Amino acid sequence: MLEIMLISTAAGLSTGLGGLLVLFFGRPSAKLLSAMLGFAAGIMLAISAFDLMPEAVEMGGLAIAIIGFLLGAGLMYLLDIIVPHIHIGSGEGEGAPDYEQSKMIKLGYFIFLGIALHNLPEGLAIGAGYSASIRLGAAIAIALALHNVPEGMATAAPLIGGGMGKLKAIGLTTLAGLMTPVGTAIGLALTSISTQFIGLFLALAAGAMIYIVSDELIPQSHAFHSHLANAGLLGGFLLGMVIA
């Protein structure tokens, strides 16, 4: 249990790592960001297709797996409507000469809130994965850690750009990621009830991850550099297939 929570916390803290990267190196190049986002998307697709959904069907049955998948995608869609979050490179609030510092900080707080809430179901996915097997939980944690680094960049950039103290900005960025182990604890508690719950939450994790890939990772990766995004996705998919 402790080991699982530590791994989940490490995955969440990768959000803080993204903030530190912005602090020390500035925004990443478009090419690097494209490859990174595509790579994370490929891993998530492979894990969802080759591991999460088959395990969900085996443990909960086809109907439970379908319901869980739709619930996972629906949950992420609902969060996007209620608390949409902006990712680095979206162009909103970045680099505009007339964008006041106070507005930049407000934007940073808005992104912080969105990412914190989005990390809760992501942590739940890690908990569900570990309930099925250590290997699956670790694979999900790695995929989400890769996904969280750009989100940390998105949170820290406007906060620092708006004049917030660097330590405070990094602290807020890290705090957003710490919702991940909270979700993991909830996932572990719920999936301990029965194997059908494990199947439901594995499928929910798959639905949430596919939604993230389709709604966020692939479009953003192609917005920067299409060919590197494709290369990253293919490489991530192959790696995900190996570790799944």
Instruction: Check residue 230 and give its pLDDT.
Output: 94
Nearest of 226, 236, 22, 224 to residue 144 by alpha carbon: 236
What is the predicted pLDDT for the residue at 111?
66
Angle value at C-alpha 3, between 36 and 128, nearest 5 degrees: 70
pLDDT in tens, the chain (244 residues): 778 898 899 988 898 888 888 888 776 677 877 887 788 788 889 888 988 899 889 888 999 999 999 998 998 888 778 765 555 454 444 444 444 566 666 666 766 776 777 777 778 888 888 887 888 888 888 888 887 887 787 677 767 766 778 888 888 888 988 888 988 898 888 777 777 888 888 898 889 889 888 887 888 788 878 899 999 999 989 987 886 6
pTM to 2 decimals?
Answer: 0.70
The rounded distance, in Å, linking the Cα atoms of 181 and 201 is 16
What was the pLDDT predicted at 130?
85
Domain boundaries, the chain: 2-21+30-243
